[in-house]
Amino acid sequence: MSRGTRWRRAAALCLLAVAAPAVASGQEPVPTTAAPSTGEALTDREAERLDAEAARLAEELRCPVCRNQSVSESNAELSREMQALVRERLAAGETPEQVKAYFVSRYGEWILLEPERRGINWIVWLAPFGALIVGGGFAVWLLRRWTRAAPAAAAASPQAPGLSEENERWLRDALREG
Amino acid sequence: MRKHLAWILPLLALPVLWLLLWGMGTDKYTLPSPLEGAEAPTFHLETMDGDSVDLADLRGKAVLLNFWASWCIPCRQEHDVLKLTEATYDREDAVVLGVVYQDTEENARRFLAQLGGDWTQLLDPTQRTAIDFGVYGVPETFFIAPDGQIARKKVGPVTWDLVKPTLDSLIAAAPSRTAGGAP
């Protein structure tokens, strides 16, 4: 029993170690309601907040030109314009979700660096953990089988290890003759 | 148990193999556009000649909207097809519009002087229209139906084999051409 518990505890720890960073990074900040500040001069604090919000959103959008970079990392002209557009839309009172929805409506969900957690997309999010559990379970099963099988086989067979029946007979005969 | 495993393991590998083969067979540079079948984004842009064009004013006509740049080699390849389109269709039926993308007006003019073509060229200095159309590279061509819907998007150079049937079918489906008249 204690052996089983140990296995279970070890597996749980492994899973936790792998899953924790993913879960932590997956926490999205609560979207703040944008201040309706169109046309008015922004205070420094508002401008700063907008900049920060736009920068955060730009990190979630894929640069359509370079593809494996976010809009905020990319120096492509299109990305810079996209970042400016993100800020403009936020300043016009759109929520971050609305801004993202706009880009999705133009480029498809592909424009989001992380697929949204819904519907069939859950496969992408959960498959690695599934593979880990199945692969880990298989490895554990295999290891236990190997470690158990070896001594059992040794105990069960009176033969000298590594000798075929024929060779053993020959060896026995030779020893008897000698 | 061992016998079962001998079957299960290769079977588990099959979906992965299938995914790999499927991935090799697809063109990773062409993305499906969510705009096909949707209403074309509106725009009001200045032309290179100092006029302006509003897409809404072109309702009732098929529109071929082509994003291009002078530095783009495939744009050079497709230019003759666009010239042929311009020459073939009555402007009351189908309108060819170019949008100069990430390029200077000077370079665009030089390109056109060299290769010809006198359809309307629009300027999009802030690239807002390009982003509105989900453009990610040039050339990209949108076929807009007379009712304002995007019927088709083509990434990469267009061919006459694509342009002719597409525009023909859009013109044929135009409300003014059908017996019923206005919808």
Is the residue at B143 inside a domain? yes
Is the residue at B80 inside a domain? yes
Q: How confident is the model at residue B1 (pLDDT cuts 50, 70, 90)?
A: low
Closest CA to B35 of B163, B120, B154: B154
Please count the structural domains in chain B: 1
Q: Which residue has the tokens 């008249």?
A: B181
CA A3 to chain centre: 30
Can you give the pLDDT at residue B7? Answer: 82
Is the residue at B91 inside a domain? yes
Average pLDDT over residues B160-175: 94
User: What is the distance in angstroms between the Cα of A115 and the nearest Cα belonging to chain B?
Assistant: 15
Q: Does domain A29-114 have CATH number 1.10.8.640?
A: yes
Closest CA to A77 of B55, B154, B104: B104
ipTM: 0.84
Q: Among all residues of chain A, which has the CA nearest to that of B101? A: A78
Is the residue at B44 inside a domain? yes
Of A81, A105, A107, the CB nearest to B126: A81
Domain positions in chain A: 29-114
Q: Please judge whether A78 and B31 are an interchain contact, meaning their C-beta atoms are less than 8 angstroms apart.
A: no
Can you give the pLDDT at residue B123? Answer: 96
Structural domain of B122 = 39-172
Mean pLDDT over the full length of chain B = 90
One-letter-per-residue 3-state SS of B71-121: CCHHHHHHHHHHHHHHHHCCCCCEEEEEEECCCCHHHHHHHHHHHCCCCEE
Is the residue at B167 inside a domain? yes
Q: Please judge whether B131 and A78 are an interchain contact, meaning their C-beta atoms are less than 8 angstroms apart.
A: yes
Can you give the pLDDT at residue A40? Answer: 55
Can you give the pLDDT at residue B181? Answer: 41
Is the residue at B58 inside a domain? yes
Q: Please judge whether A106 and B127 are an interchain contact, meaning their C-beta atoms are less than 8 angstroms apart.
A: no
Of B31, B34, B127, the CB nearest to A78: B127
Element (H, E) at B45: strand B44-46
Of B31, B127, B137, the CB nearest to A110: B31
Closest CA to B176 of B91, B56, B30, B59: B59
Q: Is the pLDDT of residue B134 over 80?
A: yes
Can you give the pLDDT at residue B2? Answer: 62
Contacts of A122 (CB under 8 A, 6+ apart): none
Of B32, B127, B131, the CB nearest to A106: B131
Q: How confident is the model at residue B37 (pLDDT cuts 50, 70, 90)?
A: very high
| Chain B environment of A82 (Cβ under 8 Å) | 131
| Chain B environment of A106 (Cβ under 8 Å) | 34-35, 41, 131-134
Is the residue at B156 inside a domain? yes
- Asked if A116 reaches chain B (Cβ–Cβ under 8 Å), the answer is no
| Chain B environment of A80 (Cβ under 8 Å) | none
User: What is the distance in angstroms between the Cα of A140 and the nearest Cα belonging to chain B?
Assistant: 15
Of A77, A84, A106, the CB nearest to B134: A106
C-alpha distances out from residue A25 to A51, A117, A129, B112, Å: 21, 13, 16, 50
Can you give the pLDDT at residue A113? Answer: 92
| Chain B environment of A107 (Cβ under 8 Å) | 31, 33-34, 134, 136
Average pLDDT over residues B155-163: 95
Q: Among all residues of chain B, which has the CA nearest to that of A134? A: B12
pLDDT (tens, 9 = 90+) of chain A, 178 residues, equals 455 555 555 555 444 444 444 444 433 333 334 444 445 567 888 889 999 999 999 999 999 988 889 999 999 999 999 999 999 999 999 999 999 999 999 999 999 999 888 888 898 899 999 999 999 999 999 999 898 877 666 666 555 567 788 888 888 888 887 6
Check which CATH number belongs to the domain holding B112 and give it.
3.40.30.10
| B81-99 pLDDT per residue, tens | 999 999 999 999 999 999 9
Q: Is the pLDDT of residue B182 over 50?
A: no
Can you give the pLDDT at residue A25? Answer: 41
